[in-house]
Chain A
Amino acid sequence: EAQVTQNPRYLITVTGKKLTVTCSQNMNHEYMSWYRQDPGLGLRQIYYSMNVEVTDKGDVPEGYKVSRKEKRNFPLILESPSPNQTSLYFCASSPQGTEGAAQHFGDGTRLSIL
């Protein structure tokens, strides 16, 4: 089954404790992206990757890091999480760039930073 898998789905942690949210896709997609979703602000793009070893900043990259060492994985790293990073996070992938009907989203990861 074609899917984008995020882990964990839920996490409560404390300020300053490094965490990683993993994202994996099994569709051999070139494009992957991370978003955060906050009430009243909609979806905002954090980082995206057009292909392996190619990453670019989205609208709200501050406080986040990503890596794309292999095509299937695109982890989101919070080196020193802060309460303003409490949010619902989505990972997405598509075959090539943003275009086309095949953009798949994961089920989301709800992070709470205390």
Chain B
Amino acid sequence: GESVGLHLPTLSVQEGDNSIINCAYSNSASDYFIWYKQESGKGPQFIIDIRSNMDKRQGQRVTVLLNKTVKHLSLQIAATQPGDSAVYFCAENILPGGKLIFGQGTELSVKP
């Protein structure tokens, strides 16, 4: 069935290093992907999104890469800061539908 999964459940990085969080999806019909950040005790926050007609999209310190051939998505965070410590989720969607499927999440821990 449909699924979105993350390769690593936890990731620990040094402050200032770059972080890469990976996600695999199985539904080749998905054409829209979103990354969310969830801090402890809060609801998820949108970070960045990408449509399937793009391979890469950049935001402020974050980049999302999409490889449709292997159905793989990644989130890169440049110069990781302690405030980036959180759980990160990927989600997939088939536009214009409203059904979102989330991955399990990766916990990012930033060491000072």
Contact = CB atoms under 8 A, between A and B. Distances in A.
A55 to B, nearest CB: 10
Interface residues of A, number: 29
Contacts of A99: 32, 49, 93, 95-96
Interface string B77-112: 000000000000101010111111111110000000
Nearest to B103: A42
A41 B5 CA distance: 10
Contact of A56 (B43, B49, B98, B103): B98
A31 B42 contact: no
Contacts of B101: 45, 59
A50 B43 contact: no
Interface of B: 32, 34, 42-46, 49, 89, 91, 93, 95-105
17 contacts: A4-B43, A41-B104, A42-B103, A43-B44, A43-B89, A43-B102, A48-B98, A48-B100, A90-B44, A98-B32, A98-B34, A98-B98, A99-B49, A101-B46, A105-B43, A106-B43, A108-B42
